[in-house]
Structure 1
């Protein structure tokens, strides 16, 4: 029998699903309290981001001509990076932002970062709907491999961001400047993953530094973006634009990325569980 109050990691969430639901509702209510647009911000923010990137990268730098339909290519990457950014940013701050609850009552501390993941998925859903509509309008039709790629990409992003969020969130309780480090990571995430450019431009561009190229393609976020490109852009793109060799390598890269992401969840959960014993005192 588990001793009362003993931390058991993410597994401790299962008996507290009702509390998790309450935390998700609270976070959504607080976030949009006194907000004119409310949940519509889930559409506005990615919409503005898409418009800026499309105008700069698509029009000025000519990506719209070299990667048709560039709108689907671009938005496929944006929804992935936005999901990663929201989960990682919010899970890192989850414990600190819920300090009054942490100090007053005992509950599994993992409830706070996991609730942030669910809130991010609430915002991810309308963006995914827009992506599907845009892809269909561009001539895309779903296929089994594409659906599997979309599911795999989503799982990789959630696991990667949650694992890092648990790790950084635990450390952030003691050292608040971790939030600044995470903000830097999120700032460059969109540039160090193939959201604005095809990975074909990365291949060989490192010159003799082939190990840098391997590191780039080992990045789970890079793989997740490419999986979404396979899921939504591939079916609408001109056959001449499709990199069959790259797509054939996605299955192996996807499995490696999933293993890395799940390993980070395990490591992050262990660190979070160990450090959670002193959260109340630190806060």
Structure 2
């Protein structure tokens, strides 16, 4: 009997999770390119929508929160503050939402061939980042009008904020992408979380309001939220250089940031575990 060495072969469906994405980089690039190319297919304005939609949303929030509710009083350069936080949360919401539906949206590929299923959520995160760049460009133009001068620490804070948003959205996206194939209610729950993300982080208001109006333990929970930390890092990088009197980070911000990073790591580990648990039946459930 001839013995065949199977050591060089992979067992279908039992890859190395997110680590396999590095081995399939070419396919990852194709998925990202496909997502960006088809986003505005048959649209007259095309990529212009990547600028128009966030600008309209920002103007609505600015009108309501700034002029009607008077949040701009006592907060210097409120439009820059608002837009910096708004852009950060927008990236998280789009990345999280796209990652959640990535398996269902690519059901044709999932049912026909084997490939690391993690490619789809990762491609969704990268695709959301590509569409985040036009909003980032508008933000830079806005803060430049207010006298923004970039600094090394500010750039590091912005990059760290982006990394936290990407890690949180990928971890949660893996978790809910796996659930969403079996239980389509997961997508509705994600829509609720995305809606709450703007209000559960200091985008439309400052963290000082949480400190002054709610119990102290609420501030602790609020500050370890990865979205809160990312938004504050965006404020530090974009808004702080434009103001003379800055209220500063909350006390022990470094510890809160470490806690938020730990939560992101937990999201990734739990999300990967749940995703691998459900991926065994993706083809059947789809």
Class of the TM-score when normalised by the shorter of the 2 chains: over 0.9
Q: Which runs of 5+ in 1 are unaligned?
A: none
- Name the residue aligned to 2:247: 243
* Deviations 1:30-65, CA, capped at 9 Å, x for gaps: 221111111111111110110000111111122223
- Name the residue aligned to 1:229: 235
3-state SS, counterpart of residue 63 of structure 1: coil
- Name the residue aligned to 1:133: 141
Whether 2:196 is the aligned partner of 1:188: answer yes
After TM superposition, the runs of 4+ consecutive aligned structure 1 residues lying more than 3 A away are none
- Name the residue aligned to 1:219: 225
* Deviations 1:55-110, CA, capped at 9 Å, x for gaps: 11111122223212111100101111100100110111000111111001111100
- Name the residue aligned to 1:273: 276
Q: Which has the larger radius of gyration?
A: 2
- Name the residue aligned to 2:159: 151
3-state SS, counterpart of residue 203 of structure 1: helix
For 1:134 and 1:252, locate their aligned partners in 2 and report how far apart those are by CA, in whole Å: 31
How big is the shift at 1:254? Answer: 1.8
3-state SS, counterpart of residue 62 of structure 1: coil
* Deviations 1:88-142, CA, capped at 9 Å, x for gaps: 1011100011111100111110011111011101111111111112112101211
Specify which of 111, 126, 147 is matched with residue 118 of structure 1.
126
- Name the residue aligned to 2:3: none
RMSD: 1.4
Would you say the 8 A contact 1:117–1:158 is kept in 2? yes
Would you say the 8 A contact 2:103–2:121 is kept in 1? yes
How big is the shift at 1:212? Answer: 2.0
Would you say the 8 A contact 2:224–2:257 is kept in 1? no
3-state SS, counterpart of residue 234 of structure 1: helix
For 2:239 and 2:157, locate their aligned partners in 1 and report how far apart those are by CA, in whole Å: 12
Q: Which runs of 5+ in 2 are unaligned?
A: 1-6
Whether 2:54 is the aligned partner of 1:46: answer yes
Superposed, 1:1-283 pairs within 5 Å as 1=7, 3-5=10-12, 6-206=14-214, 209-239=215-245, 242-244=246-248, 246=250, 249-283=252-286
Give the alignment's TM-score, normalised by structure 2: 0.93
3-state SS, counterpart of residue 190 of structure 1: helix
For 2:143 and 2:252, locate their aligned partners in 1 and report how far apart those are by CA, in whole Å: 23
How big is the shift at 1:181? Answer: 0.3
Would you say the 8 A contact 1:8–1:273 is kept in 2? no
